[in-house]
Amino acid sequence: MRPTPYRLVRRRRETRDTATFEYVPAGPEQLSALAPGQFNMLSVFGVGEAAFSSCGESPRPGAFVHTIRAVGALTQAIHRLKRGAIVGLRGPFGNPWPLARTAGKDVLLIAGGLGIAPLRGALRSLLKAADPPRRVTLLYGARSPVDLVYRHELRQLRRRGQPPVLLTVDRPDRLWRGHVGVVPKLLTLAAVAPVQTIALVCGPEVMMRFTARALGVLGIEDSQIYVSLERNMSCALGFCGHCQFGPVFICRDGPVFRYDRVRPWLDIPEL
Amino acid sequence: MASPPHTTLETNAPPGSGSAMERLQCILEREDFPRLITVLQEQGFEVIGPTVRDGAIVYERLETAKDLPEGWTDAQEAGQYRLNKRQDHALFGYAVGPHSWKQFLFPANSRLLSLHRDGNGFTVETPAEPAPRYAFIGVRSCELRAIAIQDKVFLGSGAVDRTYAERREPLFIVALQCGVAGGTCFCVSMQAGPRAETGFDLALTEVLEETRHYFVVQTGSDRGAQILAALPHRAAFPEEIQAARRITDHTARTMGREMPKADIPALLKANYDHARWDAVAERCLTCANCTLACPTCFCSTVEDVTDLTGNHAERWRKWDSCFTLSFSSVAGGITRASAKSRYRQWLTHKLATWHDQFGSSGCVGCGRCITWCPVGIDITEEVRALTQTAPPTPPAPG
């Protein structure tokens, strides 16, 4: 339960309420690196602690990077931190995305809202994998164009044309030329060879539920789909009970689950 | 009367097997009972046991045997608890009260860390004070089962919880073979009592006869045998052992409640949409009493607090409950907003998904959740309603 001190070295504003934070060890102690899909417990002195997924590696050795939306007392306190401030980190916790299974396959990375953060980590690893997938496609939906995070990186990807990036928003503005509507609708636009596709999905639960069903309609087996689930967490050690999802503890048994193993539970409202 | 049969205790032969323990049944007379508490205190234990406070029998620190609820009993029903005077001077003539032993092994509030601001950063200090060395007196069979379940949660499922482990490891347990079944007791149908067979250092059966008041004592461990050796005792006659057995047999026959016989995990997993959840949600106040009174409920939350200077912070772990709204709150909103979903989470966790997580039911049949529910919701009645009205079971998820 003991947090390790880390120093905030960089923050990058992503949207009006979201920013990416990078910290390095403040002392001699340091935690093991996060694999994409795993998470840390991050705390601010005297305010509290919560779970945050890795959003990818940093060139700085031993650094952790989290993209965080300011919504509650803790995340607002994180947003108020100045460079040089010390935070507490614990981890790594949970199971990562099954990136080893993607070698030679077609990979769909499907994100809704801030669900893009753990998939950014997956994307960055896949792009430099020794045993790379055959094809990677990123599908990403946000509430509105100004809520898209990593816009700079998305622009770079689109300029390169590889991997293909499909974006959608619920509420377009006047300048938006992309798609409008929910994320599953993007699937009809992606080139999908069902038998050799693996889909990694992260977003609000309702989005994951409908996305997984739409993937099924395309002929992708439930066992080829992975979802990253979220619940309140106080300990990340399987003690506090908050992250129960039917029979599993998301902190310990997840947060990444093979869809066929959690599907019956994901279909139950307010579980 | 024949002379008492020979016992091997005087030779300090350790009880090694079940059959050896069976033989080690001794008699402790009522007038010698206070010595048990004294001897445990002399061995450095903080003795915890039942006592009367605020109109209920609760578990607190005992100084002497005079602190026990002598001559008291309780009347329990759904949403009701009253203390009454007994006609005799029994020390343990009642069922379980609102407290369980979990408050000592898994304290309702425990400080995990102290943090001190240090220039731009902070230093972290873990509490250094030694954990208390408890001896519990009067632990019922259902409560032994509850302790075994929490052992699994905090010690046997991956990470080890330090707070629990350092209290649990030195714990000395004096079990009590129940002489009274409460109105809300249903340990028999949970296979959790009323007779304790294992998991104790000593087990007592309190026997009240016309002219005699004594305890039949079983040893369950070497430590138990050593404590017994320090007390005035003699081996039990067969008729005394039989008298003790008749007491728990009678308790088993007079249970106030019964959990229906059914494949409850499969039943609950197949009925997440059952109309009964709406019916119980009409009554449930989501007050969390059941989870606080439950001897196995283990959920907690972590809170950070600072002093007025802002330079010192502490991280506390506090009992939490799946009945609160904040329990399922994440950035995107509250997962279990309805009372229905919260009651369903509690019951299906306790009786169904607990098996997946920890290999047993989370219920021991102690009846606390029934007695201490302010509106008298009865876990056995809810399960019965589901068994009687559920459609034929489709395959359960998971």
Fold (topology level) of A99-266: Rossmann fold (3.40.50)
Q: Do A247 and B122 touch (CB under 8 A)?
A: no
Q: Nearest CA of chain B to the CA of A171: how many Å?
A: 18
Tokens read off for B204: 């007592």
Are A264 and B398 an interchain contact pair (Cβ–Cβ within 8 Å)?
Answer: yes
Does B98 share its domain with B241? yes
Say if strands B172-177 and B134-139 run parallel, antiparallel, or are unpaired: parallel
B331-346 core/surface letters (b: 16 or more CB in 10 A; e: else): beebbbeebbbbbbbb
pLDDT at residue number B167: 97
What span, in angstroms and rounded, lies between the C-alpha atoms of B91 and B138?
10
**Residue B34's CB: how many other CB atoms inside 10 A?**
13
Three-state DSSP class for B247?
Answer: helix
Tell whether A130 is within 8 A of chain B (Cβ): no
Is residue B194 in some structural domain? yes
Residues B163, B36 within the same domain: yes
Contact between B184 and B365 (Cβ < 8 Å) = no
Q: Is the pLDDT of residue B18 over 50?
A: no
Lowest mean pLDDT among A124-138, A159-173, B381-395: B381-395
Q: Is residue B142 part of a domain?
A: yes
Answer yes or no: is B1 within a domain.
Answer: no
Question: Mind telling me how many Å the CA of B396 is from chain A's nearest CA?
Answer: 9
Better pLDDT: B24 or B76: B76
Last residue of a domain, one of B231, B253, B275: B253
* Pair (B232, B277) in one structural domain: no
Chain-centroid distance of CA B320 in Å reads 18
Complex prediction ipTM: 0.91
Does some domain include residue B395? Answer: no
**High-pLDDT (> 70) share of chain A, %:** 100
Mean pLDDT, chain A, rounded, equals 94
Q: What gap in Å lies between CA B182 and CA A164, rounded to an integer? A: 68
Are B249 and B279 part of one and the same domain? no
Q: Does B246 lie in the same domain as B140?
A: yes
- So what's the pLDDT on residue A258? 98
Q: Write down which residue in B253, B279, B303 finishes a domain.
A: B253
Tell me what pLDDT residue B119 has: 76
Contact A231 B349 (CB under 8 A): no
Residue B39 sits at φ, ψ, to 5 deg, of -65, -40
A244 pairs with which residues across the strands?
Answer: A249
User: In terms of domains, do B222 and B335 share one?
Assistant: no
User: Nearest by CB to A239, which of B120, B161, B356?
Assistant: B161
B315, A1: Cβ pair inside 8 Å? yes
Q: Given an 8 Å threshold on Cβ–Cβ distance, is A232 in contact with B330?
A: yes
Cα atoms in the Cβ-side hemisphere of radius 13 Å centred on B379: 34
Query: Do residue B243 and residue B279 come from a single domain?
Result: no
Q: Which residues contact A76 (CB under 8 A, 6 or more apart)?
A: A70
The Cβ of residue A175 has, within 10 Å, a number of other Cβ atoms equal to 6
Which residues of chain B does A47 touch, with a Cβ-Cβ cutoff of 8 Å?
A: 304
The strand pair at A256-258 and B25-29 is best described as unpaired
Clarify whether residues B151 and B185 are in a common domain: yes
How large is the average pLDDT for residues B246-269? 96
Q: Output the pLDDT for position B397.
A: 55
In the prediction, which pLDDT does B394 show? 54
Rounded to a whole number of angstroms, the distance from the CA of B313 to the nearest CA of chain A is 5
pLDDT of res. B372: 98
Q: How confident is the model at residue B11 (pLDDT cuts 50, 70, 90)?
A: very low
Beta carbons of A234 and B121 less than 8 Å apart: no
CB A238 within 8 A of CB A224: no
Closest Cα in chain B, distance from residue A85 (Å):
6
Q: Report, as an integer, the average pLDDT of B282-298.
A: 97
Find the DSSP H helices in B116-173.
Answer: 141-155, 162-168
Q: Give the ranges where chain B is alpha helix by DSSP (H).
A: 18-23, 33-42, 102-105, 141-155, 162-168, 222-229, 238-253, 264-269, 275-283, 289-293, 339-348, 354-358, 368-371, 379-389
User: Average model confidence (pLDDT) for chain B?
Assistant: 92
Mark yes or no for CB contact A7/B121 under 8 Å.
Answer: yes
> How far is the alpha carbon of A135 from chain B, nearest alpha carbon, in Å?
32
Model pLDDT for residues A6-20, shown as the tens digit of each residue: 999 999 999 999 999
The one-letter code for the residue type at A33 is A
Determine the residue among B111, B112, B114, B122 to mutate to test chain A binding: the one whose Cβ has the most chain A Cβ atoms within 10 Å: B122
> Exposed, middle or buried by CB within 10 Å (0-12, 13-18, 19+), for B32?
middle
Q: Determine the pLDDT at residue A218.
A: 94
Whether B337 and A270 lie within 8 Å, measured CB to CB:
yes
| pLDDT tens for each residue of B326-344 | 999 888 889 999 999 999 9
The reply to whether B211 and B158 lie within a common domain is yes
> What average pLDDT score do residues B128-142 get?
95
Q: Is A91 left (phi over 0), alpha (psi -120 to 50) or beta?
A: left
Does some domain include residue B351? yes
Measured CA to CA, the distance from residue B240 to residue A40 in angstroms comes to 60
Average pLDDT over residues A23-48: 93
Looking at the predicted structure, is the pLDDT value of residue B277 above 60?
Answer: yes
CB contact under 8 A, A270 and B305: no
pLDDT bracket for residue B23 (50, 70, 90): low
Number of domain units in chain B? 2
Query: Above 70 in pLDDT, residue A210?
Result: yes
Position B141 in a domain: yes
User: Which residue segment(s) compose the domain that B383 sits in?
Assistant: 264-389
The pLDDT score that the predictor gives to residue B331 is 82
Give chain A positions within 8 Å (CB) of B327: 232, 242
Q: In this prediction, what percent of chain B has a pLDDT beyond 70?
A: 92
Q: Do A26 and B327 touch (CB under 8 A)?
A: no
Among all chains, which residue has been given the structure tokens 């816009």?
A151
Give the distance from residue B301's alpha carbon to the nearest chain A alpha carbon, in angstroms.
Answer: 6
Does the CB of A45 have a partner CB in chain B at under 8 Å? yes
* Domain A4-93 falls under CATH 2.40.30.10: yes
pLDDT in tens, B237-257: 999 999 999 999 999 999 999
Q: Chain A: nearest CA to B357, how far in angstroms? A: 6
Taking residue B158's Cβ as centre, other Cβ atoms within 10 Å add up to 10
Q: State the Cα–Cα distance between residues A72 and A68, nearest whole angstrom.
A: 11
Domain ranges of chain A: 4-93, 99-266
CB A186 within 8 A of CB A165: no
CB pairs under 8 A between A and B: 126
pLDDT at B129: 87
pLDDT of B113 higher than 80: yes
How confident is the model over A25-42, as a mean pLDDT?
Answer: 94
Average pLDDT over residues A160-178: 93
| pLDDT at position B7 over 50 | no
What's residue A256's pLDDT?
97
Is some CB atom of chain B closer than 8 A to the CB atom of A86?
Answer: yes
With a cut of 50, say whether residue B10 has pLDDT above it. Answer: no
Inform me whether the pLDDT recorded for A144 exceeds 90.
yes
- Residue B49 inside a domain? The answer is yes
Enter the tokens of residue B381: 């009645």
Can you tell me whether residue B27 is helix, strand or coil? strand
* Domain A99-266 in the same topology as domain A4-93: no
Q: How many angstroms separate the CA of residue B390 from the nearest CA in chain A? A: 17
- Measure A185 CA to nearest chain B CA, in Å: 22
Residues B277 and B245 in one domain: no
Cβ of A239 and B310 within 8 Å? no
Do residue A240 and residue B300 have CB atoms under 8 angstroms apart? Answer: yes
Give residue-wise pLDDT tens across range A67-92.
999 999 999 999 999 999 999 999 99
Taking the Cβ of residue A240 and every Cβ of chain B, the question of whether any pair is shorter than 8 Å is answered with yes
A271 touches chain B (CB under 8 A): yes
* Pair (B204, B60) in one structural domain: yes
The tens digit of pLDDT for each residue in B66-98 reads 999 999 999 999 999 999 999 999 999 999 999
Are the beta carbons of B301 and A242 separated by less than 8 Å?
Answer: yes
Cα angle for residues A236, A241, A243 (degrees, 5° grid): 65
Using a CB-CB cut-off of 8 Å, the residues of chain B touching A242 are 299, 301, 320, 327-328
Closest among B15, B224, B204, B221 to B93, alpha carbons compared: B204
CB contact under 8 A, B330 and A231: yes
Is A235–B353 a contact, with Cβ atoms under 8 angstroms apart?
Answer: no
**What is the tens place of the pLDDT at every residue in B379-394?**
999 999 999 886 655 5
Mutate to test the interface with B, among A234, A237, A245 (most CBs of B within 10 A): A234
Nearest Cα of chain B lies from the Cα of A73 at a distance, in angstroms, of 11
Q: Which residues of A182-207 are buried (b: 16+ CB within 10 A; e: fewer)?
A: bbbbbbeebebeeeebbbbbbbbbeb
**Who has greater pLDDT, A57 or B7?**
A57
Which of A163, A133, A169, A132 lies closest to A149 in space, CA to CA?
A169
Report the residue of A93, A232, A258 to disrupt the B interface, i.e. the one with the largest count of B CBs within 10 Å. Answer: A232
Nearest to A268 among B272, B304, B306 (CB): B272
Q: Is B316 exposed, middle or buried (0-12, 13-18, 19+ CB in 10 A)?
A: middle
The confidence score (pLDDT) of residue B158 equals 84
| Residue of A45, A49, A88 with shortest CB distance to B302 | A49
Say if B259 falls within a structural domain: no
The yes-or-no verdict on residue B44 having pLDDT over 80 is yes
